[in-house]
Amino acid sequence: MPDTTTFTSRELFDPEFLDSLTRLHILARRVARSGRPAEQRSRDMGSGVEFRDFRAYSAGDDFKSIDWTVYRRLGKVFLRLYEELEDLPVYLLLDRSRSLFEEETPRIRGGLRCALALAAISLQQHDSVGLFPFAGRLETALRPRSGKSRLFRFAETLAAMAPEDSTDFAKALQTFSGLRLRRGLCVIISDFFDPAGIDRVVKALKTVRHRLLLVRLWRRTDQEPDLGGDFQLVDCETGTTEDVSATAAVMEAYRASYRRFDEGLTSFARERGAGMLLLDTDREVVPQLATLFETGSYTV
């Protein structure tokens, strides 16, 4: 298993890598303090920064909001209403199960760079960002805070990320829900493999009350493994072994199982209205994020 010290904050905090993110923005239906979604701004009316509408005066309203020009013209008292900008809380849930640290080029590297990229994008537009690594349990590595100066701390925290044993989505997301965080965008970065199977993963995802973006760490060999003959499989998280003969029937059974996994996760994302990015960990992260953000922004 690769040592996590192979990932340094300098590697993750590469200026060229971060510069490539400057044109990407999360154009989100932001969430007001009341918990209601709003398109980039709070739907709550107040004395904010941008005019939105009028409404008739009611007893007790603030006189400072009265539009006297309208009164002089129509002889009726109306208030000018404004909408206030709100930050979007972004919660990054990063899978750090031991299997992601395996392989010659571990796919956790793509997960770490993706997490840092999304943190950079969110922090540069003044959103609050928190980091919650998980495997069999979920931890709060960095509480949600805003400020561009936090990016270096994100890089250091991600670089120091150590693996844990097998994934338990149900337990991890139950812990996350128990934190009772303000409604926002929950980004789950994982391969979404769980020993309990895809049905349990989907059931756990349904309990998340935030808007969802699923970033699936993936390799082409997941769908079509390049295997043949007789070999021994070793579960890198539990240590259990299994002797396998890669016959045509066995390989077809694997493909059918993988299709069920893929369809289960994709169907959930479609029905929930969640975003989903298939992140090929053998390719650079930023160009793939650019396809998600399409015209320079990703709307959630």
Residue 244 pairs in a beta bridge with 231
Side-chain-side CA neighbours of residue 209 (13 Å)? 14
pLDDT, tens digit, for every residue of 15-28? Answer: 888 788 777 776 54
pLDDT, tens digit, for every residue of 73-131? Answer: 777 777 776 555 567 799 999 999 998 998 788 999 999 999 999 999 889 888 899 99
pLDDT, average across residues 44-70: 59
How far apart are alpha carbons 264 and 240 in whole angstroms?
26
Note the pTM of the prediction, 2 decimals: 0.77
CA distances from 36 to 17, 68, 111 (A): 34, 31, 30
pLDDT, average across residues 181-201: 94
For the chain, counts of helices (H) and of strands (E): 10, 13
Domains (range + CATH), the chain: 4-32+87-223+263-298 (3.40.50.410), 42-85 (no CATH)
pLDDT, tens digit, for every residue of 130-177? Answer: 999 999 999 999 999 998 889 889 999 999 999 998 899 999 999 999
pLDDT, tens digit, for every residue of 275-292? Answer: 889 999 999 898 888 877
